[in-house]
Chains A and B, each alone.
Chain A
Amino acid sequence: MKRISKLLVAASLLMSSSPALLAETTFLTAAPYIPGQGTSGGEAYQHLNSAKDIVHFYPPMATISGSNWEKMLKQSRETQQQTTFSKAASSVAPPVQGCYDVDLGPIYSAPLAPSGSLMCFQFIAPEATKIQAYVANLPANEQHNVNLVQVNDDGSLVYLDSYPGTSPNKIVEAIPGGPVRLLLLVESQQGVGSSEFLFQILGITGYDRYEPNDSPIHPTALSGNQVISANLDTAADIDYYNITASPTQSNNRITFAGIGTQTAELFTNSGWASLASGSTYTVSAPGGATLSLRVRNTSASAAALETYTLRISDGGGHGVFYQMLDEENITHLVYGRENVARTVTVGVNAYDSTNNVQLPPGEHITVVVGDVNLDGSLASLTTASGYTNSFGNLLLPLNIGTCKGDNTFTGDFVSPIYGALKITYTLARAYAIIDTQQDYPSYSQHQFWHICKEDFLSRY
């Protein structure tokens, strides 16, 4: 059976750049429960809980408040705090004195340090690996902070993640620039120690750019107008997201598209609610609220690395016309507005309720076009819809046909190119509306001259 007592040997391998710091630092560490080697069945793990299995390091523990660990951690937090990707160490730092060597994968059990001291475990994080440390069974109502710390080859420390507080179960995670030495520190701010806790450190490859986000405590932040493509790197992976919308965004449109047993769940006023893949949901929330969403597999046998997409947009947004391109051979001599005959390609994009942020690709926009009657009502010409492309734009060819409005004008127009013409035209209007369940839908309108007829009279 492997024992972590080999750390006693490692204690002599002080990092040359910080011997003074480490010499002053003391730890209370414990022998873990390690998976049995070569055993079978129910004996695969052996619970070693007798006093002789607890390894104490000397000199006796120091309080955290007086330790250099705190100074180092504090400095690290202030100057180098990273919660996702950390800078790769140029080479792996030597083992840290007083920390237990642990491996990725096994479940360990260890006794807690008494208040004011900490337990330290160290391991090497491989290159391109997401590191997750799960800690369980910490005493309820006692504060024990769990930290994931990177040791650089110059002895400096980089604080990667922390889970403070009194929760008995904690997750810390990071994607360090490996290979690099990491420390899992379990600090005790309260309690007398000795009670046992469990921990397990996992290394996972194939993660997406939005990792690490396996903890509801540290979800990946998304904006209220965003499309992402991510994956569940293992069947057990859970991706947590926090969607923070603008203060004016109270209608949120959320679309999840997953594969197989992937499911998305939104945290609502009735708890976690499933979002069916491929459906777009309108979610009402107070403006500026943060929405919590997670994606997971419902089957433990799901394949790894299967991708999914999430789209979030402002349901209070509106379409904006940027093009009204006539497709026919007309003179365009009527002043003041675009001249459009029977066919036109309209260009529309969409913006959120602040008017400043373009809605992400995939926005469904409906365009309604009609001639304007004398009394202001609309004589409908056509209605069509489409989805914005990867640039957020929609180009929609429309056949608006001949004039239907009851208020046409006829005037004489002359140009050196076209000569003299008598042109009959009317005012037409196009509206662009996004799919919305907002009480009072926003919109944009664009007016143009609908050319009913052009008669050539004479040369210029």
Chain B
Amino acid sequence: MSIAFPSTGTGPSLAQATSIDKEVRSQIDASLPSTAPGVTILSTDAHADMLARLPTILKAYGTQNVMAYDASHVMDALVPTMQSVIDQRPDLANAKFDFQTDNGHLKVVSSTMSAEDKAWLEDQLNANKALVSATQSFHEHAVEGYQLWTSLGNSPSTSIDTAAISAAADSKFRFMDIFQRFGQASKGLNQGGSYFTSDGMKIDFNLVPKTALSFLRFAKTANAIEAGDVRYVDDASGREFNGALKGSIFYIFGDAMPEFRPTDDSNTLGFSARV
């Protein structure tokens, strides 16, 4: 397409024109693609949109802490079974294992235990109704939390099959791993001195529960901290303080719980690192 300079017809004549820049740019624009696929203006008021979603956003954010609270119940419920395991099968006291929910039951995961030992331990865990109930509560909150996240999505396609979320939650969370995370998070409490339980045991904050025995040490420490029944001895002065450390490590370090949420750039099940 040509620009009508000079022109004797309907277009502007040179006499009228002082510039051809607009026409040139217009023609260049016309020659370029007319649309940019995938580029969409969503809204002009993201603040209002965010505020409208804020209650759900906060509830979704808080899921991590609710699950941490559930994990503390799992820990409490697991204690008698682990004591029983050590009593009945002392040979398994130091066997490394983990366990997870599996469609309503508990499944033992171990790369070192025999199939028979795993089956036996699995039976012990599933026979503990309080433990199964606590793990199910954890699982349900994980699924509910994921669904909260999906409800925040702007796209209708964010709805995901509940069974798929449930299966993903089964697969993602292993409880001994969760205990290890909280054990490591509590290391930050050990600053400038030492803590002792009421029976004189020095609290070891470097807890890595991987076996029945190490789990019981972890649970004892966590319960002592929660009860506030600890004595702190300051390294510098040697002075002793009571009650300075109190509270559930699952409560204090709730952000140690791994997140379970959709990824930002897809509507598929996935996990993103907390930022």
A contact set with B: CB distance below 8 Å: 33, 41-45, 47, 107, 109, 132, 134-137, 140, 167-171, 198-200, 202, 214-217, 236, 238, 248, 250-251, 253, 266-271, 273, 276, 279-287, 289, 291-292, 315-316, 318, 334-336, 353, 355, 364, 366, 368, 370, 372, 374-378, 383, 385, 407, 409-414, 427, 431, 433-445, 447
Is residue B19 within 8 Å, beta carbon to beta carbon, of the partner chain? yes
* Complex interface: chain B residues within 8 A of A250 (CB): 264-265
Q: Whole-angstrom distance between the alpha carbons of A199 and B5 in the complex?
A: 10
CA distance A409 to B31 in the complex (A): 71
Name the distance in Å between A279's Cβ and chain B's nearest Cβ: 5
B43 A44 Cβ-Cβ under 8 A: no
Asked if A289 and B39 sit within 8 Å, CB to CB, the answer is yes
CA distance A447 to B262 in the complex (A): 24
At the interface, yes or no: B29 with Cβ under 8 Å from chain A?
Answer: yes
**Across-interface contacts of B261 in A (CB, < 8 A):** 440
A412 contacts which of B29, B57, B65, B243 (Cβ < 8 Å)? Answer: B243
Contact A368 B40, beta carbon cutoff 8 Å: no
Could you mark each residue 19-52 of chain B with 1 if its beta carbon is under 8 Å from any beta carbon of chain A, else 0? 1111111011101101111111111111101110
Q: For B32, list chain A residues within 8 Å (CB).
A: 216
Contact residue among A134, A409, A434, A439 (Cβ-Cβ distance under 8 Å from B20): A134
CB < 8 Å: which of B3, B31, B50, B158 contacts A441? B50
Query: Given that A335-B189, A378-B58 are known contacts, is A136 also in contact with B3, CB under 8 Å in the complex?
Result: yes
Task: Please name all residues of chain A whose beta carbon is closer than 8 Å to the beta carbon of B243 when the two chains form the complex.
Answer: 410-412
Whether A284 lies near B27 (C-beta < 8 A) is no
5 closest pairs, A vs B, by CB? A376-B65, A411-B243, A45-B14, A439-B153, A376-B66
CB-based contact B58/A368 at 8 Å:
yes
B245 within 8 Å of A (CB atoms):
yes
Complex CA distance for A436 and B57, rounded to whole angstroms: 12
Q: Is the CB of A200 within 8 A of B14?
A: no
Q: Mark B226-263, 1 if CB is under 8 A from A, else 0.
A: 00100000000001011111110001101100000111
In this assembly, does B222 line the interface, its C-beta being within 8 Å of a C-beta of chain A? no
Tell me, rounded to whole Å, the shortest Cβ–Cβ distance linking B259 to chain A. 10
Q: Give chain B nearest CB distance to A422 CB in angstroms.
A: 9
Residues of B near A355 (CB, < 8 A) are 275
Chain A proximity of B197: nearest CB distance (Å): 16
> Given the complex, which residues of A lie within 8 Å of B25, measured CB to CB?
134, 171, 214-216, 238
**Cβ-defined contact, A107 with B5, below 8 A:** yes
Task: Point out the residues of chain A lying under 8 angstroms from B61, CB to CB.
Answer: 431, 443, 445
Given contacts A107-B20, A198-B3, A409-B247, 17 further A-B contacts (CB under 8 A): A33-B14, A45-B6, A109-B5, A169-B27, A198-B20, A214-B25, A267-B35, A269-B37, A269-B40, A271-B34, A280-B46, A285-B39, A414-B239, A434-B50, A437-B50, A439-B262, A442-B264
Number of residues in B with C-beta < 8 Å to the partner?
81
A268 touches B36 (CB 8 A): yes
B163 within 8 A of A: no
Contact between A266 and B244, CB atoms less than 8 A apart: no
Contact A292 B36 (CB under 8 A): yes
CB distance from A171 to the nearest CB of B (A): 6
Residue-wise, chain B 173-191 has the 8 Å CB interface mask toward A (1 for contact) of 0000000000000001101
Are B242 and A435 closer than 8 Å at their CB atoms? no
Cβ contacts under 8 Å, B67 to chain A = 376
Q: Is the CB of A412 within 8 A of B242?
A: yes
Q: Check B6–A42 contact: CB distance below 8 A.
A: no
Residues of chain A with a CB closer than 8 A to B239's CB: 414
Contact of B3 with A437 in the complex, beta carbons under 8 Å? no
When the two chains form their complex, are residues B247 and A286 in contact, meaning their CB atoms are under 8 A apart? Answer: no
24 A-B pairs, CB-CB below 8 angstroms? Answer: A42-B13, A136-B24, A215-B25, A268-B40, A276-B44, A280-B46, A285-B38, A336-B252, A355-B275, A368-B58, A376-B62, A383-B54, A409-B228, A411-B228, A411-B244, A427-B251, A436-B46, A437-B42, A437-B46, A437-B50, A438-B264, A439-B154, A440-B263, A440-B264
Contact of A315 among B34, B46, B51, B58 (CB under 8 A): B46
B6 near A33: Cβ-Cβ < 8 Å: yes
Residue in chain A with minimal CB distance to B186: A336
Rounded to whole Å, the gap between the CB of B36 and the closest CB of chain A is: 5
Bound complex: CA A108 to CA B194 (Å): 89
- Residue B155 interfacial (CB < 8 Å): yes
> Contact residues of B with A, CB < 8 Å?
1-3, 5-6, 13-15, 17, 19-25, 27-29, 31-32, 34-47, 49-51, 53-54, 57-59, 61-69, 149, 152-155, 158, 188-189, 191, 228, 239, 241-247, 251-252, 254-255, 261-265, 272, 275
Query: How far does the alpha carbon of A438 sit from the alpha carbon of B17 in the complex, in Å?
Result: 49
Contact of B15 with A47 in the complex, beta carbons under 8 Å? no
C-alpha spacing A436/B153, complex, angstroms: 12
Contacts of B262 in A (CB 8 A): 439-440
Given A376-B65, A441-B57: A41 touches B15 (CB 8 Å cut-off): yes
Contact (Cβ within 8 A) A269 B264: no
Contact B3 A137 (CB under 8 A): yes
Smallest Cβ distance from B217 to chain A, in angstroms? 22
Residues of chain B within 8 A (CB-CB) of A366 are 47, 50-51, 54
Determine how close the nearest CB of chain A comes to the CB of B193; give it in whole angstroms: 10
Contacts of A215 in B (CB 8 A): 25, 28
Q: Which residue of B lies closest to A439 (CB)?
A: B153
The CA of A202 and the CA of B21, in the complex, are separated in Å by: 9
Q: Is A136 touching B5 in the complex (CB atoms < 8 A)?
A: yes
Q: What is the CB-to-nearest-CB distance from A166 to chain B, in angstroms, rounded to a whole number? A: 10
With both chains docked as a complex, state the minimum distance between the C-beta of B205 and any C-beta of chain A, in angstroms: 12
* CA–CA, A236 and B25, complex, Å: 11
Taking a contact as CB atoms under 8 Å apart, the answer to whether A169 and B275 are in contact is no
> How distant is A213 from chain B, measured CB to nearest CB, in Å?
12
Bound-state CA distance A444–B274 (Å) is: 8
Chain B residues whose C-beta falls within 8 Å of the C-beta of A407 in the assembled complex: 247, 251
CA distance A289 to B38 in the complex (A): 9
Q: Which residues of A contact B272 (CB under 8 A)?
A: 440
A441 / chain B contacts, CB cutoff of 8 Å = 50, 53, 57, 152
Known interface pairs A107-B20, A440-B149; A281-B41 also in contact (CB < 8 Å): yes
Which of B17, B66, B152 contacts A107 (CB under 8 A)? B17
Q: Which residues of A contact B49 (CB under 8 A)?
A: 435, 437
- B71–chain A nearest beta-carbon distance, Å: 10
Residues of B within 8 A of A33 (CB): 6, 14
A128 to B36, CA, bound (A): 35
Q: How far is the CA of A217 from the CA of B24 in the complex (A)?
A: 12
CA distance A77 to B14 in the complex (A): 36
* Contact yes or no, A217 B46, CB < 8 A: no
Chain A: which residue is nearest B262 at the CB level?
A440
Complex Cα–Cα for A41 and B43 (A): 51
Q: Determine whether the beta carbon of B275 is less than 8 Å from that of A170.
A: no
